[in-house]
Amino acid sequence: MGNKSLKNTRNRNTFLWGWILILPTILGLLILNIYPMFETIYQSFFKTGDFGRGNTFVGFKNYIKLINDLDVLQAVINTFKFTIVEVPFSIIIALILAVVLNTKIKCKSIYRTIVFLPMVAAPAAVAMVWKWLYNSQFGLINNFFDINVYWISNPSIAIYSIAIIGIWSDIGYNMILFLASLQEVPKDYYEAANLDGANGILKFFHITIPMISPMIFFVLVTRIIAAMKVFDFIYMIMDRANPALKKTQSLVFIFYQHSFVEKDYGYGSAIVVLLLVIIMLITIIQIFAQKKWVHYN
Amino acid sequence: MKKIYFTMLIFVLAISTIFASGQSEKVDNNEVSNKPLSVMIWDTNQEPGITKMIEEFTQRTGIKAEVQVVNWNNYWTLLAAGAEGGSLPDIFWMHSKASEKYMSNGLLLNLSDKINQSDEINLDNYPSEIVKLYTYENNSYAIPKDIDTIALWYNKTLFDEAGVEYPNENWSWDDLYINAKKLTKADGSVYGYANKNSEGQGGWYNMVYSNNGYIISDDKKKSGLDNPNTIEALQTMQKLIDEKIMPPQEMMAENNVDVLFQSGKVAMAPFGSWMLSSFKSNEYIKNNCDVALLPKNAKTNRRVSIFNGLGWAISANSKRADDSWKLIEFFGSKEGQLLQAELGITMSAYNNTSANWKSSAPYFNLDSYLKMQNDMVMYPYSKSSVKWELAVNDSMLEAWSGKITITEASKKAAKLMNEIISEE
């Protein structure tokens, strides 16, 4: 009996301490993430009054407007375009760089640092520099190659120009994650493959990729979520008078426009709920699809 | 038991940090008056001049103030966020497009009593239209700061090269079109004319009103963008776009018109008088450019300039309303207004101070801006200006970038604008 109650006390203590230790994080999540999330969903059923006062309940009116809003549809397309270009390229290039920088070459750490540098720079600063590089009149790219391309104001290419900035800034981060994962692949597999006479490309596809597939999966999921939420590059680069704006603005960008520029929190919230649903669907699909290609050993 | 005490201690500490932030707001008055007043404006070019005026004020009264500049687009986002969160700056600029919204929601300090008691401020000394902008239900909420008009800047060097006579007061918009065409170079290195398309004040609104068109009806109930006179006036813009006399919208979106103008890519462009502080510090413009009257409308013989005037406002919940009042009283006094004009910050709202402004940059023909005051129209606004202006600019943008005609764009803009006005 005495033994059991002692065990119970210890269990309770462990339990209590566990909660105390995660309390700061939980509180932060509740106050900064969970509460605003429900508040946002709640807001999306209201029409916002001046300065957030006198909101009136309008039911699903914001959502009906959302479905019929061509700008929102275009923003969904733009967001997908950005994601489809940005994510695969930033992963493939990072993977190749990681494999190359994992071999025995000179000045390895210098190269690693160079590739990682964009990650250290603030996105707003990165966007400002690229904005000048892309400038049609005074930009380095057009002047160096002596061409006249409207990189960021031609509606058919602007979104890809912005995706290139995204790729450039993400490669470093992805590469570090892949490098960490590559170091954990046992050397034995490669030695065995060498004995069997496999060449580098075969080893890459049959050993490296399967062995680090859990990391690739992690990067893929987080990158897609991040890409779907793209805002800062577009905000810094696109001007309201830019003819390409309609073809580049992402969902978060129009959410910002409606919520904070036009002060229509209700409609802005509806847009962001749509984004939440889209991201959730994509992530669920990925979690199911991973069973087909991710190897955990 | 020890552990429980420890846990409680942690809780108490954690909770006390929450209250700590609340307590720190209760500081005694001495400390408050040592802190500089917060002043928020949106024009970087005016900042050095305004800081100079504040230094003068600090020397006299000992009250310090600090200027924060937030660019035009973010200014309204930030100000509205401050209004909701109850943390507006002490003093800030007000603009016709937002004043009614701020006044009717009680966010600005009612200045009527202070004005009545003041020896320095008498609202009869300012243009009545500007005073009216900041009056709501017979109370005043801001002191007029400045008045602005629009005039036509031109690049003398490019005119000489093309052998074209400088713009003069007999020019009509058709003359502008013919001469702009002569100035345009086929290789795209020089364009004859450009105006800022992200807003109407510095460009196409002037054409519209000169042709007896309008943007919003006098009772502020109806859009004038589908008015035949409005559409007729904008056909000049259509010609300038179609014949590539104006730079493509892509180019103007990436580089502001003033950047294109000061790099010699554009021969003529209208700019507001507030641009003077930027232009007079630019060597290229000083050596090559000058300013003339806007062209007149051949049919109506009118030469309209849109005008506007900012106001200095105080936040309704400013903890230092009295000190803030002293500062804007200085800004609005005859002395302060003369100083503002002499420093070339902007034309001052105070009547008969323009001579001082004109002499702040004698190498430009600033008389043009003063002559434009002969036929002025107040910048069109209503309670929901912020919203319909964006909608109008977005629809017109499709015309500026050549996707649809101006006639189509203005009809579309009128429809959107009417919807927004009806929700006011």
Nearest CA in chain A to B399: A243
Residue with tokens 């120009």: A161
CA B304 to chain centre: 17
Do B304 and B210 form a contact (C-beta atoms < 8 A)? yes
Q: What is the pTM of this model?
A: 0.81
Nearest CA in chain A to B1: A13
> pLDDT > 90: what percent of chain A?
60
- pLDDT band for position B22 (cuts 50, 70, 90): very low
Q: Would the CB atoms of A51 and B80 count as touching at under 8 Å?
A: yes
Among B102, B421, B94, smallest CA distance to A53 is for B102
Residues, chain B: 424
Q: Which residue has the higher pLDDT, B386 or A228?
A: A228
Q: Would the CB atoms of B386 and A137 count as touching at under 8 Å?
A: no
Nearest CA in chain A to B400: A243
Least confident range of A55-59, A148-152, B162-166, B395-399: A55-59
Please tell me the distance in Å from A134's CA to the nearest CA on chain B. 9
Q: Would the CB atoms of A263 and B80 count as touching at under 8 Å?
A: yes
Using a CB–CB cutoff of 8 Å, tell me whether A146 touches chain B: no
Strand (E) or helix (H) holding A3: helix A2-28
- Residue A145: pLDDT over 60: yes
Least confident range of A50-54, A183-187, B18-22, B71-75: B18-22
Is the confidence metric ipTM above 0.95 for this complex? no
Cα B141 to Cα A191: distance, rounded to the nearest angstrom: 81
Nearest by CB to residue B250, choosing from A53, A154, A262, is A154
Residue B154 pLDDT: 96
Among A251, A295, A215, A244, smallest CA distance to A79 is for A251
Count other Cβ atoms within 10 Å, centred on residue B206.
28
Q: DSSP 3-state assignment of B280? A: coil
Cα three-residue angle A147-A148-A154, rounded to 5 degrees: 135
Residue B385 pLDDT: 85
Please tell me the distance in Å from B365's CA to the nearest CA on chain A. 30
Nearest by CB to residue B249, choosing from A52, A152, A243, is A243
Among A152, A153, A148, A154, smallest CA distance to A162 is for A152
Cα B182 to Cα B190: distance, rounded to the nearest angstrom: 11
- Residue A282: pLDDT over 90: yes
Cα B233 to Cα B209: distance, rounded to the nearest angstrom: 8
Using a CB–CB cutoff of 8 Å, tell me whether A132 touches chain B: no
Q: DSSP 3-state assignment of B93? A: strand
Q: Would you give the DSSP letter of residue B188?
A: S
Residue A4 pLDDT: 63
Best of A162, A240, A247, A259 to mutate (most B CBs within 10 Å, chain B): A240
Q: Would you give the DSSP letter of residue B267?
A: E
Q: Would the CB atoms of B390 and A20 count as touching at under 8 Å?
A: no
Number of helices followed by number of strands (H, E) in chain A: 15, 2
- Residue B300: pLDDT over 90: yes
Nearest by CB to residue B254, choosing from A148, A152, A260, is A152
Q: DSSP readout, B113-137?
A: HHHHH-SS--GGGS-HHHHHHTEET
Using a CB–CB cutoff of 8 Å, tell me whether A244 touches chain B: yes
Nearest by CB to residue B250, choosing from A52, A53, A150, is A150
- pLDDT band for position A53 (cuts 50, 70, 90): confident
Nearest CA in chain B to A134: B254
Residue B97 pLDDT: 86
Best of B1, B195, B254, B392 to mutate (most A CBs within 10 Å, chain A): B254
Residue B74 pLDDT: 87
Count other Cβ atoms within 10 Å, centred on residue A189.
15
- Residue A130: pLDDT over 50: yes
Residue B15 pLDDT: 46
Kindly report, residue by residue over A193-243, the tens digit of the pLDDT. Answer: 989 888 888 989 999 999 999 999 999 999 999 999 999 999 999 988 888
> pLDDT > 70: what percent of chain B?
92
Among B394, B409, B387, B406, smallest CA distance to A74 is for B394
Please tell me the distance in Å from B177's CA to the nearest CA on chain A. 23
Contacts of A101-104 spanning 24+ positions with Cβ under 8 A: A101/A175, A101/A179, A102/A179, A102/A182, A102/A183
> pLDDT > 90: what percent of chain B?
69
Q: Which residue has the higher pLDDT, B51 or A107?
A: B51
